[in-house]
Structure 1
Amino acid sequence: MFNSIHEECGVFGIFMPKTCNIAEDVYLALYALQHRGQESCGIAVNDDGVFTHFKGDGLVPDVFTKQRLDGLGKGNIAIGHVRYSTTGGKNVNNIQPIVIRHIKGNLAVAHNGNLVNADEIRRSFELKGGIFHGTSDTESIAYTISANRLNSKSTEEAIEKSLSQIKGAYSCVVMTATKLIAFRDENGFRPLCIGKMQDGGWCVSSESCALDTLGAEFVRDVLPGEIVTIDSDGVHSNKTHCKNKGNVCIFEYIYFARPDSTIDGASVEQARIRAGEFLAEENPVDADIVIGVPDSGLDAALGYSRQSGIPYAIGFVKNRYIGRSFIQPSQKQRESAVRIKLNVIKENIKGKRVIMIDDSIVRGTTCAAIVNLLREAGAKEVHMRVSSPPFKHPCYFGTDVDDEENLIACKYPTVDEIAKAIGVDSLAYLSVDATYKLAQNASVGFCNGCFTGNYPIAVPKVKFKDKFEQKMNRMSVLD
C-alpha cells in the first residue's frame, strides 16, 4: 500500500530480574516493530529509580547508534516506542516515551492509539496551571495518571482511576521506579501482548513478532480493559475494567500488523489469506494470473489464487531501501516514488489478464500509478480486487483515515466509476460481512467504523476530522 493508510505506533516494555544491558533488548524489539511507526522512536531505561532516556526522529537503527545505546546505561526495566503521528503532529516534544518527574516518583509512558477526549483533558489541566510541552494525547494520559497518583496508594490504582477519564484507543506501557505496567482500553482497539523471557524476565509488546525476535515465549494477550503489573513478585492482573469482549481494529489484520504476528488469538497471515479467499468467492473474474501489491497484498493474493484456481505469480519487486512514498512532499513526487519503490516483472505480466490484489484504496492516485505500471508492462487486462471494504468514514482511534471529502469511495458514487478513475477493467472490494470472519478464532470483536460509520464508542461531533486534529496541533506553529 502506498500513499494511503499510515501505520500505527508500536510499544514495548521489559522487566528483568537483574540489572543488565536492557536497552539492547528494547532496540531489537523496536526494530521488529518498525513497520508500525517510522517517524521517530525512543527508549527509556530505569536503573534503581534513575531514568535515562533518548529519543529522536528517524528509524530505529539511525536514532540508536551503539554509542547512544551504551549511553542509556544498564537497568532492569525499560520501555520503548516507535511512532507515526496521528494526533499531535511532528514535534520533538511528542516523541515517546513521555518521561515525567513527579513528586510520587518518576514515570515514563508509551502509548499506541488515539484519545477522542484529549483536548478536553488538556484544557482541564491548562486551566489549573498545567504546562504541556508537546501536542500529543500521550501527554494527556501521563498527566492524568500523575494527577491521580497524588490521591492513590499506588500507580496501578492511579491508572485504574484514569481509565474512566481517558476515552478512546490506548494500549500503553508505563514504567515506574519498581514496576512495569501495561494496560489496554476497554474496547481493545490496539493490540498488546505479554511474553516471558528465557532468563526469567517479562515483556509486553504491541505485537508478538517482537517477542519472537527476543526469543521470548508468548504467554497471552492483555485483555481489553485489563491492567497488568510486572514487578519483583511476578505478574499481577486487574480485570475490574474488563467489561466486554472488545473491538480490535480490523485493519490490524488487513494491513497494520506483521504477518508473522498473532493478535488476540488469530494469525495475521491467515486472516489475510482468508480475505483473499473470500474475495475470490464474492468477486470472481476470468484471468490468467493473480498478483499482490507488496507487502500486505501478497497473502491476500495467495488466498485468492488458492480459492479461484488461477495461478499465483510475482508481479512486483519492491525496493526496500527507500522511504515510504506517502512522505514525499508533492503528489507528483509521490507518483514518481512509486516507480522507484516498485518495479514490474514484465515477463510475468506481458499479454496476461491480471488480477491485482491490494489491501485498500484511499485516494486512488497512487493506485492509478501502479495500474499504469502494469499497462506499460503489457498487461492485456487489469482487474483489481481489494481485501477490505471501501473507506467511507474517518477513524478517530489512531488510524490515519482521511476526511470523507478526500476518500475516493465517497468522491465517486459507484464502484464502476472508481474503476474508471484508477484505470482498471474491473474493481471489487471485500464485503463488510466478510471482515467479521477474517480473524478465525479471535477472542475479540472488531471495529470497522471506517467502513461502516458504526463506531464502538462516541466520536467527536465535528464535520471534518482534520479540524479535530488541528485543535490538538495548535502548538505546532511554535515548533
Structure 2
Amino acid sequence: MSGVAAAFLCSSSKSRATVYDRLKHMVPKLAFRGQAGVGIAAFMHKEGVRYARALQSSCDSVRIEHDEQDPNFRPHVAIAHIRSRCRGISDGGDLQPIHNNAGTSRSLAISLDGALVNGRELRGELLAQGYRLGSNTDAELLLKWIEGSCERDYWRHGLPVNYENIFRDIDDRIDGAISAILLDGEGNLVAYRNRCGLRPLETMQTDDGFLLVASENCAFADLEGKTQQILPGHIRYVDGKMGYCVDRSVSNGQYKAKLCAYEALYLGNPNTSVEGQSHFETRYNIGAALGGLVAQRLQGELGSTLTIVSSMPHTGGPYADGLFASLVEYGVFAQRREVVSTQFFQRTLIGTPSERKCLIAQKYRVSETSLAEAAIIIVDEALIRGDTSQAVTNMLLAAGAKAVHWAIGSPPIVAPNYYGMGIDTLDELAFWQIWKQLPPEQRTQILRFHKMEPQDLKIIESNIAASINAATITYLPFPLLVSLLPCRQDGVDLSPFTFEMPTPAGQKRANRNLRELAADLPYSESILA
C-alpha cells in the first residue's frame, strides 16, 4: 500500500516549472496511499542521480530537500515514492526509491506500488545465483532482478538496455499486483504495470511539456493536458536524451485491468475517478444504500433517543454523508456530527498486533463531551480485524453513549490480501475469529462467503458486534456492493469478500490456507470446490 509518481521535462517544453514543482503538485494528492514519508530520486545530465526526501509542510504541500540546498541542480526527470509503513523495516517505512550501488551509467532506482505473491520463489532464485539481498522488500527484489538482466544481456556487452525485453521477462515471472517506475543512470524513465492490472498507473502529457506518471488520476487535478491509463502488461518508456516516448506491450496476450476493490472503498483519493465515477460518489452511494438497511433495523430501537451519525476519519466521511441522507429520507431523526477525531494521519492497518494496539490508543479520541445517552452510528468502509472498532466503541461508551452501532460499507472481509495491503493471514481477520467459535454446521454454511444466506450473515454480524461491545453491526450485502461499483464485476478484484483470487499464485496460497482451516468440517469439500 503505497504510491508512485514521476515527472519528465520534455525538451520541447518552454515552461518555467521544474519536475520538482510537478512532484510537489502530485504527491500531496496521493497521501491516502501512505503516511510514512516521501522519497525522491532525480536525474540531471552531467550530475547523475541524486536522492532526497520530501517533507510534508501542510496538508496540501511538500518541501523537497534538494530544492533548497542546491538550486543549481535542476533535473529533467524525477521519481517519487509515497511510503507506507512496512513490516520488517526498522523505522516503520518502506524506504524507496530503492537503488543499487553501481557506477553512474549503471545506476538504477525504482519506486514500487503493490506486492509479489511469489516473491519467496523469486528471492530463492536470486540467492541461488549468488545475489545478495539486504532487505526483505519486493522493491529490492524487483530491482535486483532488473539489474541482473541488464548486466547479463546488455551492460557487459556494451549494449543499450532494451527495457521492453527486460520487463517482458519480469511480466512472465512475477505473480502479484505491481505498478513501478524505474529511473536509470542515463535519465531514461520506465513506467510499468503488470498484467493483472490490480494497481492503477496513469499518465498525463501536459500542455506545457511534461510527461507525468502517478498511481491515481487525481494527481493531475488542475493541470491541463491529455491523460491516459497505462494498460496491464505494458510499459511506457521515455528516452532520457532524446525525450521521445513509446508504449509497449510486454505480455504475451491482452489483459484487462481488474482493479482491487480497496482502491474504490478505502485506498484511493476521493477525487480519483474510475469509469467516469469518482471514489467519493461510489462511497456516498454505498453509504446511502447502507442507510436503508440501518433504518429498517434500528427504527424501532431508537425511539426518541438522540441519534448521531459519525464517520471514522479520515476515510469514512463520504459513507457517513450518504448514510445520513438516507436516514433522513426514511424519516429517522438524526444528527450528522463527527464524534471521533485523530491525533495523527498515519493509518493503523499495517504492523504487528502490539504495534497496532499502541498506535490505535494514541490515534483516536472522542471529540465531543455531550454524548450522554446518545445512540452513535459509526460509519466505516470496512471492518478488518476489529481492534480499531472495539477501541473506538469503548471510548464512546466511556464518554456516556447509550449504544454504539456500526455501519460497514462493504461485506465481511474473509480473505487475506497477498498484494500489498498488510493483511497476511486468516487468523487476524475478525470474520475468522468469530467463525472459529461457531458450531460445525454453521461454520460449514458460512464458508459460502458472499453467497451465504441472510440468516448466516446476521449470525456473523451479531457475534462480531458482541466481540467489540457494539449494539449492532450492519454490513453491506455483497450484491449491493457489486451494483454500486463503477466497474462491472469482471473488472474489479473482489477477493477480500469472495476468496476468489485474481492471480494463480494468490489462489494457490488461498486454497491451501482455507483447506487447512476447514479440514475437519463436514461437507466443506463440496462447498470449497
Of 164, 167, 182 in structure 2, the residue corresponding to residue 174 of structure 1 is 182
SS of 1:294's equivalent?
coil
Q: What's 1:476 paired with? A: none
Give the direction of change, closer, same or farther, for the CA distance of 1:133–1:294 in structure 2 (3 Å limit): same
User: 1:364: how far off?
Assistant: 1.6
Of 384, 404, 409 in structure 2, the residue corresponding to residue 387 of structure 1 is 409
Contact preservation (8 Å) 2:83, 2:96: yes
Q: What's 1:238 paired with? A: 248
Residue 278, structure 1, aligned to residue 289, structure 2? yes
User: 1:247: how far off?
Assistant: 1.6
Of 295, 298, 301 in structure 1, the residue corresponding to residue 314 of structure 2 is 295
Deviating more after overlay: 267-276 vs 140-149: 140-149
User: 1:24: how far off?
Assistant: 4.1
> C-alpha separation between the residues in 1 aligned to 2:344 and 2:219?
21
Once the two structures are superposed, what CA deviation does each residue of 1:404-446 show, in whole Å capped at 9, x if it has no partner? 2122111113221111111222111112223323332579711
Structure 2 counterpart of 1:247, one-letter code: K
Residue 12, structure 1, aligned to residue 34, structure 2? no
User: 1:252: how far off?
Assistant: 1.2
Give the direction of change, closer, same or farther, for the CA distance of 1:332–1:445 in structure 2 (3 Å limit): closer
> C-alpha separation between the residues in 2 aligned to 1:104 and 1:243?
34
> C-alpha separation between the residues in 2 aligned to 1:75 and 1:455?
41
Structure possessing the higher relative contact order (Cα contacts under 8 Å, 6 or more residues apart): 1
SS of 1:74's equivalent?
coil
Point out 4+ residue stretches in structure 1 off by more than 6 angstroms. 462-465
- For residues 447-466 of structure 1, the aligned pairs below 5 Å read 447-458=493-504, 459=506, 461=509
Contact preservation (8 Å) 1:314, 1:345: no
Once the two structures are superposed, what CA deviation does each residue of 1:55-97 show, in whole Å capped at 9, x if it has no partner? 56x96559x8654434572111110102225576347996111
Give the direction of change, closer, same or farther, for the CA distance of 1:330–1:247 in structure 2 (3 Å limit): closer
Give the direction of change, closer, same or farther, for the CA distance of 1:259–1:332 in structure 2 (3 Å limit): closer
Q: What's 1:207 paired with? A: 216
Q: What's 1:188 paired with? A: 197
> How many residues were matched structurally?
453
Q: What's 1:343 paired with? A: 366
- Unmatched 5+ stretches in structure 2: 155-160, 436-459, 515-529
Give the direction of change, closer, same or farther, for the CA distance of 1:412–1:112 in structure 2 (3 Å limit): same
> C-alpha separation between the residues in 2 aligned to 1:409 and 1:142?
37
Contact preservation (8 Å) 1:88, 1:94: no
Deviating more after overlay: 174-183 vs 90-99: 90-99
Structure 1 counterpart of 2:501, one-letter code: Y
Give the direction of change, closer, same or farther, for the CA distance of 1:69–1:103 in structure 2 (3 Å limit): closer
Structure 2 counterpart of 1:45, one-letter code: A
Of 325, 328, 352 in structure 2, the residue corresponding to residue 306 of structure 1 is 325
Contact preservation (8 Å) 1:226, 1:238: yes
- Unmatched 5+ stretches in structure 1: 1-7, 466-479
Structure 2 counterpart of 1:151, one-letter code: D
User: 1:160: how far off?
Assistant: 2.2
Once the two structures are superposed, what CA deviation does each residue of 1:261-309 show, in whole Å capped at 9, x if it has no partner? 2246431111111221232344533254432111211111111222332
Structure 1 counterpart of 2:41, one-letter code: A
> C-alpha separation between the residues in 2 aligned to 1:103 and 1:315?
53
Tell which structure's C-alpha radius of gyration is larger: 2
Once the two structures are superposed, what CA deviation does each residue of 1:134-160 show, in whole Å capped at 9, x if it has no partner? 221112212222333343752233112
Give the direction of change, closer, same or farther, for the CA distance of 1:333–1:85 in structure 2 (3 Å limit): closer
Q: What's 2:39 paired with? A: 42
Give the direction of change, closer, same or farther, for the CA distance of 1:396–1:323 in structure 2 (3 Å limit): closer
Once the two structures are superposed, what CA deviation does each residue of 1:33-68 show, in whole Å capped at 9, x if it has no partner? 233122343111111275333356x96559x86544
Structure 1 counterpart of 2:411, one-letter code: P
Give the % identical residues: 23
Contact preservation (8 Å) 1:279, 1:387: yes
